[in-house]
Amino acid sequence: MKKRDAHKITLPRVILRGDGVIDKVGEVCQSLELGKNAIVVTGPTTRKVAGDRVASLLKSSGFASQIVISKGANEENVEAAKKGDADFIVGVGGGSVNDVAKLAASDKNVPFVSVPTSAANDGIASSRSSIKRAGSKTSIEAETPIAVIADIEILSKSPHRYFAAGCGDVISNYTSVLDWKLAHKEKGEYYGVYAGELAWMSSNSILSNVELMASDRIEGTKLLIEALISSGVSMGIAGSTRPASGSEHMFSHALEVVAPKPALHGEQCGVGTIMMAFLHQADWEGIKNALERLKAPTTAKELGIEPEHLIKALTVAHNIRPGRYTILRDGLSAEKAEHVARKTGVI
Ligand SMILES: [Zn+2]
C-alpha cells in the first residue's frame, strides 16, 4: 500500500441485533468495562419508547445513569449532553439523538453506545455526526460507536417513513460508489476495493430484496439494520465517508441549505440517487422503481420541496464538499439541472 493511502480503521466492538436485545444493555456495558457513570441521551418521544427503559436497566446493572433530553441535532443539545460526569454516553433514539450523543461522547473523549429506535440512516454504526451549526447541517467526524444495540422489536414498530428513509440512505451507496470509482479513474484518488464492494453490497441487498422489504416489516427491518451497519462499517474501513456519501449526499446537504423545510436525510438521498444514477448513465429507473415499491419519495412533491429549490440544490451541490470529486464535476447549470430533474420525473 502506498503511504498516502494510510488511514485508521475504527469499527464497533459489539453489535447486538434481535428481539429484546435492549435488555442486554447493562451486560454489554459491563463487559466492555466502560466505567460507572452513564449519560443517556434520548428524545421526548423515544424516551417513552426505550430511553427510560435503558436508564433503569443500567441502574439495575449497577451504573449511575442520568437522562438528558435532546430535541434536535444542534450545538445546544450537544452542550447539554456534555454536562455532568460521564464515563460513557448512550444514545437512545432516532438519527438526531444519535448525532447529538455521538458528538458529545467524542468531545468528552468517552465511549459511545448506540441504541437506535428507528432505522432512518446509516449513522447508527458510523463515525459521522450531522449537526446544525450556524443555521445549516454539517457533517462532523466523531467517534465510531463502541457498541450498537439494535432491538428489532422496537425498530420494526417505528413509523414506516423512517424505514423507507433508511432504505433510501442504503440505496444511495449505489451512486456513492460510482462517484468514488469515477474519482479514482479521473483524478487518481485512492479507491478501497473492499470498502467499495461492501458499500455496494449493502445497497444491492436492499435493491435485490425489494419485495421482501415491502411485504415483511420484521424481516425487512432485520435486513435493513444489517445493511445500515455494513454501510457504516464500509466507511470505517475506508477511513472516510467516501463509500456511502457521494453526489446524492451532496444534493441532500444542499437541500438542507436551500429548502425552507427539508425532508428526511434518507428520503432526500434516495431522490438524489435517482438523478445521479441518470447522470452516471446507470440504472436510474431500477432505483426509482425500488423506492416507489418501498413507498419512499421519488419526486420533489413527495419530498415536500418546491421544484425551484430542488433545481437550485442541484446547481450548488458540487460546492458542498470541496475536494470530493463526483459526477457533478464542476457543477450543473440551471438548464442541465432542470433537464435531469424532468427526465427522471423528479419534477
Ligand atoms: Zn447518509
Averaged pLDDT, 41-47: 97
- Boundary-marking domain end, from 155, 187, 217: 155
pLDDT digits (tens, 9 = 90+) for 243-262: 999 999 999 999 999 999 99
| Distance from residue 266's CA to the centre of ligand 1 (Å) | 6
| Distance from residue 223's CA to the centre of ligand 1 (Å) | 17
- One domain, residues 265 and 332: yes
Predicted pLDDT of residue 175:
98
The three state secondary structure string of 185-234 is HHHCCCCCHHHHHHHHHHHHHHHCCHHHHHHCHHHHHHHHHHHHHHHHHH
| Distance from residue 149's CA to the centre of ligand 1 (Å) | 20
| Distance from residue 241's CA to the centre of ligand 1 (Å) | 9
| Distance from residue 169's CA to the centre of ligand 1 (Å) | 5
| Distance from residue 244's CA to the centre of ligand 1 (Å) | 7
| Distance from residue 59's CA to the centre of ligand 1 (Å) | 34
In the predicted model, is pLDDT for residue 134 greater than 80?
no
| Distance from residue 305's CA to the centre of ligand 1 (Å) | 19
- Boundary-marking domain end, from 112, 133, 155: 155
pLDDT digits (tens, 9 = 90+) for 182-202: 999 999 999 999 999 999 999
CATH number at residue 76: 3.40.50.1970
In the predicted model, is pLDDT for residue 212 greater than 90?
yes
- One domain, residues 56 and 13: yes
- One domain, residues 207 and 148: no
Averaged pLDDT, 160-181: 98
pLDDT digits (tens, 9 = 90+) for 279-325: 999 999 999 999 999 999 999 999 999 999 999 999 999 999 889 99
| Distance from residue 267's CA to the centre of ligand 1 (Å) | 10
In the predicted model, is pLDDT for residue 100 greater than 70?
yes
| Distance from residue 265's CA to the centre of ligand 1 (Å) | 7
- One domain, residues 226 and 191: yes
| Distance from residue 250's CA to the centre of ligand 1 (Å) | 10
In this structure, of 2-6, 104-108, 170-174, 252-256, the range with the lowest mean pLDDT score is 2-6
Give the mean pLDDT of the chain.
95
Count of the separate structural domains present in the chain: 2
- One domain, residues 251 and 266: yes
Q: Go through 12-48 and write b for each residue having 16 or more CB atoms within 10 A of its CB, e for each that does not.
A: bebbbbeeebbebbbebbeeeebeebbbbbbbeebbe
Ligand 1 ion: nearby residues, β-carbon < 5 Å: 169
Q: How far apart are CA 12 and CA 91, in angstroms?
A: 14
Averaged pLDDT, 161-177: 98
Cell 445521479 sits on residue: 276
Domain that holds residue 228: 161-343
- Boundary-marking domain end, from 112, 135, 155: 155
- Residue 4's pLDDT band, with cuts at 50, 70 and 90, is low
Q: Go through 183-209 and write b for each residue having 16 or more CB atoms within 10 A of its CB, e for each that does not.
A: bbeeeeebbbeebbebbbebbbbbbeb
- One domain, residues 36 and 120: yes
Among 30, 34, 123, 40, which residue's Cα sits nearest to residue 87?
34
- Residue 159's pLDDT band, with cuts at 50, 70 and 90, is very high
- One domain, residues 196 and 134: no
| Distance from residue 256's CA to the centre of ligand 1 (Å) | 13
In the predicted model, is pLDDT for residue 63 greater than 50?
yes
| Distance from residue 212's CA to the centre of ligand 1 (Å) | 22
